[in-house]
Structure 1
């Protein structure tokens, strides 16, 4: 289980390369760089977006999803949508409250893992991540009932 609070993209890229058994020569050829440059990327906490797109294509994994999931879990509520007086218009309220299908499998596993390990209570998860109570309980019933790793 990966920690979505601190994304170490270089380390994740290196792990993915090892899992896919991609040789260093192929990487150097693909990125048109030297082995030293690849090692620097592995050691980096950040990678330029154009390079990350290439990594995503090569490894056939959307590494940008990690950052999207981080935002879903850790970003503060949006401050935009408020008028000069600090109140929302009715049409903006409806749009901002629509959050269906924003939770990926990785986010659900991350949250359930926190609860099952005792790192957070259900109430803490609901308040910290603003997950509806019914949604959380549905996840717990579904994943605790069908997945051995959560028992």
Structure 2
């Protein structure tokens, strides 16, 4: 799965085909015509309301693709809480949340010799101690 360059329509189409949901149900739920549904499969991006509808219909969190992209491909300094003295009106999240999928992906890169530990640390800015802790904690693919 390539989350570096997300083409959301492709992911939606794959899951739609796997779930085998009747097109008339999809059209009713999405409140659009059949042609519009197939057109959405071609879109690289979708507005959040439509994406949320797809999440509910297909029972899959497509937003997590973007969250994982941020974790893997954005500098960690952007996630540091810069306003500790002011109370924010938006929800605050932990700055580093590595999902099991991300951990498995990174460990698989090491196990298949696609990348070295040093390359993972440099490219994805994963702390060295964190990466070694994962290697010990998850010795084989789960």
Offset at 1:79? 5.4
Residues 118 and 70 from structure 1, CA distance in 2 versus in 1: closer, same or farther, beyond 3 angstroms? same
TM-score of the pair, normalised by structure 1: 0.77
Q: 1:139 aligns with which of 134, 139, 142?
A: 134
Gaps of 5+ in 2: 86-93
Unaligned runs of 5+ residues in structure 1 are: 82-87, 93-97
Q: Residue in 1 aligned with 2:89? A: none
1:75 to 2:74 alignment? yes
Distance (Å, rounded) in 2 between the aligned partners of 1:76 and 1:128: 10
Alignment of 1:71-150 (within 5 A): 71-78=70-77, 99=95, 102-145=97-140, 147=142
Across the aligned residues of Structure 1 and Structure 2, the Cα RMSD in angstroms comes to 2.4
Which stretches of structure 1, 4 residues or more, deviate above 4 A after TM superposition?
none
SS in 1 for 2:5: coil
Cα distance in structure 2, aligned partners of 1:109 and 1:42: 28
Equivalent residues of 2:79, 2:95 under 8 A apart: no
1:134 positional shift: 2.1
For 1:7, the equivalent position in structure 2 comes to: 6
Residue 58 of structure 1 aligns to a residue whose secondary structure is helix
**Closer/same/farther in 2, CA of residues 45 and 139 from structure 1, 3 Å limit:** same
- TM-score (normalised: structure 2): 0.81
Between Structure 1 and Structure 2, the one with more helix by share is 1
Give the match for residue 37 of structure 1.
36
Q: How many residue pairs are counted as aligned between the two chains?
A: 133
